């Protein structure tokens, strides 16, 4: 037969611990006298309650707070030292900065693996200049990423390549300015002459700007 | 509860006496629970110390919404679970060494010992939540709302776990020897 008195069943642990009030003790006692199932359950609970844990002794209990305190102090100083050492090496670097640095590093490695740096030939015998591989000249290069010897070599290459062209242009311009244009100029009206003069001034200014820019770039190189 | 909060605040402020008082207050009930979970002093003692250390190191993270006692029990149970699982897998109870003597007192003691061994074996075979609930309710004298807080479940679930644990234990133990009902009255 199954006992459906859940209230009594819930009281059984407290009954076995003898922690119920007198009225409830009496009520449970009366129920147990009639209900075999609850008596079995009560006997089981008594076995559990009577299963006493061995006492490790007074010395164990009295020294435990000190042992715990000591271990807490050790743990704290260990954690503090670990944090301190890390902070000392990298003071006040926030987490986002570490994350950003890692992302940039990954991006640089990825870029380098697809865009190898230009190969640099060993200096020719008897000279201390570094030369660039011709094949690499055609590739797009990021000047900021070149080393000092590579940059020097690149500047030298640019000067060698563009000097003949500049000289040819200069010669042509010189020839043109030596031509006699008095007939053509004589046919122009005053306003046309003014516009021509303005146009020449602008061209002269543009040429000066270009020359200045070119000199500046060479100066940086 | 209020007393605990006061002790915690004083501990955080660096009062050593308050720290000691908290340890002294909870060391015995926690040890008792842990011993029942792991069945030996060395592990119980080790886990007990770890429980306090973990609690005091993480005191800043303790949300004052629940009681300190519940929080401590949760830490202890979580730390003990792994050890308890290993122990329950390795439970070996020799019952062949039961020697029946003519002295009825010795016989009674041996029967009790055998019953106790059977009880421990049966307890070990219960599902973890049921076993813990039964231990907390019967052996640690916790109320169901406290058990619910410690186990992180509802009061109804705690009651159900307790009920299932008792039923399974009864089935595993057979019919335990009845003890006189008057015994409960002291």
pLDDT per residue as tens digits for the range A93-125: 666 776 777 788 888 777 776 665 555 555 555
Residue (of B131, B29, B141, B32) closest to A18 by Cα position: B141
Asked whether B12 and B59 are in contact (CB, 8 A), the reply is: yes
* Chain A residues bordering chain B (beta-carbon distance below 8 Å): 9-10, 13-19, 25, 28-29, 32-33, 39-49, 51, 53-54, 56, 60-61, 64-65, 67-69, 71-72, 75-76, 79
Q: What is the C-alpha separation between B12 and B61, in angstroms, rounded? A: 12
Between A56 and A160, the more confident residue is A56
Rounded mean pLDDT of chain A?
74
Which residue reads 């697809």 in tokens? A114
Between A210 and A162, the more confident residue is A210
Between B182 and A76, the more confident residue is A76
- Name residues whose C-beta falls within 8 Å of residue A75's C-beta, 6 or more positions apart in sequence: B53, B57
Classify the phi-psi angles of A55: left when phi > 0, otherwise alpha if psi is within -120 to 50, otherwise beta. beta
pLDDT of residue B176: 53
pLDDT of residue B173: 81
Between A221 and A190, the more confident residue is A190
Average pLDDT on B86-90 reads 57
Identify all chain B residues contacting A60, using CB atoms and an 8 Å cutoff.
45
Residue of B nearest to A15 (CA): B184
Q: Which of B147, B176, B183 is the best residue to mutate to test the A interface, defined by the most A CB atoms within 10 Å of its own CB?
A: B176
Range of weakest confidence among A158-172, B77-91, B159-173 = A158-172
- Name residues whose C-beta falls within 8 Å of residue A60's C-beta, 6 or more positions apart in sequence: B45
Contact yes or no for B139 and A51 at CB 8 A: yes
- Name residues whose C-beta falls within 8 Å of residue B55's C-beta, 6 or more positions apart in sequence: B62, B71, B72, B75
Range of weakest confidence among B2-16, B25-39, B68-82, B95-109 = B95-109
Average pLDDT on A29-47 reads 88
Indicate the pairing of strand A131-132 with strand A120-121: antiparallel
**A86-90, A182-186, B111-115, B138-142 — most confident range:** B138-142
- pLDDT band at residue A69, thresholds of 50, 70 and 90? very high
Q: What is the C-alpha separation between B114 and B98, in angstroms, rounded? A: 8
Between A155 and B19, the more confident residue is B19
pLDDT per residue as tens digits for the range B98-146: 444 445 555 666 666 677 778 888 888 899 899 999 999 988 888 899 9
Which residue reads 């439970």 in tokens? B91
Between A199 and A97, the more confident residue is A199
Between A80 and B125, the more confident residue is B125
Contact yes or no for B184 and A15 at CB 8 A: yes
Asked whether A9 and A41 are in contact (CB, 8 A), the reply is: yes
- pLDDT band at residue A10, thresholds of 50, 70 and 90? confident
Contact yes or no for A9 and B163 at CB 8 A: yes
pLDDT per residue as tens digits for the range B30-63: 999 999 888 889 999 999 999 999 999 988 888 7
What is Dmax (Cα atoms) for chain A? Answer: 143
Residue A10 tokens, joined: 């819930």
Between A133 and B120, the more confident residue is B120
Contact yes or no for B141 and A13 at CB 8 A: yes
Q: What is the least distance, in Å, from the CA of B169 to any CA of chain A?
A: 8
Residue A90 has pLDDT above 70, yes or no: no
Average pLDDT on A44-53 reads 84
Residue B72 has pLDDT above 60, yes or no: yes
Residue A121 tokens, joined: 């030939």
pLDDT of residue B98: 41
């Amino acid at each position: 037969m199954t006992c459906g008195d859940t209230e009594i069943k819930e009281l059984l642990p407290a009954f076995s611990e003898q922690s119920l009030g007198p009225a409830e003790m009496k009520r449970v006692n009366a129920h147990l006298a009639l209900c075999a199932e609850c008596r079995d359950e009560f006997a089981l609970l008594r076995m559990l309650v009577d299963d006493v844990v061995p006492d490790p002794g007074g010395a164990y209990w009295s020294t435990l707070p000190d042992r715990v305190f000591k271990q807490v102090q050790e743990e704290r100083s260990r954690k503090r030292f670990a944090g301190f050492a890390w902070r000392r090496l990298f003071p006040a670097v926030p987490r986002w900065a570490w994350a950003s640095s890692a992302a940039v590093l990954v991006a640089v490695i990825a870029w380098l693996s697809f865009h190898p740096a230009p190969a640099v030939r060993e200096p020719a015998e008897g000279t201390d200049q570094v030369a660039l591989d011709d094949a690499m000249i055609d590739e797009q290069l990021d000047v900021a990423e070149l080393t000092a010897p590579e940059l020097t070599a690149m500047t030298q290459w640019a000067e060698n390549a563009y000097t003949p062209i500049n000289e040819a242009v200069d010669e042509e311009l010189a020839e043109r300015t030596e031509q006699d244009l008095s007939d053509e100029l004589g046919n122009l009206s005053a306003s046309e002459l003014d516009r021509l003069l303005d146009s020449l001034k602008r061209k002269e200014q543009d040429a000066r700007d270009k020359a200045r820019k070119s000199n500046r770039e060479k100066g940086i190189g | 509860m209020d007393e605990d909060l006061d002790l915690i605040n004083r501990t955080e402020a660096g009062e050593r006496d308050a720290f000691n008082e908290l340890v002294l207050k909870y060391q015995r009930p926690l040890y008792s629970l842990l011993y029942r979970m792991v069945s030996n002093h060395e592990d119980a003692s080790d886990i007990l110390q770890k429980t306090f250390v973990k609690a005091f190191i993480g005191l800043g993270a303790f949300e004052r919404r629940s009681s300190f006692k519940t929080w401590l029990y949760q830490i202890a149970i979580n730390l003990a679970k792994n050890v308890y699982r290993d122990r329950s897998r390795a439970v070996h109870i020799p019952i062949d060494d039961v020697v029946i003597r003519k002295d009825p007192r010795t016989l009674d003691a041996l029967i009790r010992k055998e019953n106790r061994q059977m009880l421990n074996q049966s307890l070990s075979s219960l599902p973890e939540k049921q076993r813990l609930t039964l231990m907390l309710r019967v052996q640690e004298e916790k109320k169901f709302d406290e058990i619910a807080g410690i186990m992180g479940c509802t009061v109804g679930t705690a009651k159900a776990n307790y009920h299932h644990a008792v039923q399974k234990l009864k089935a595993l133990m057979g019919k335990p020897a009845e003890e006189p009902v008057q015994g409960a009255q002291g």
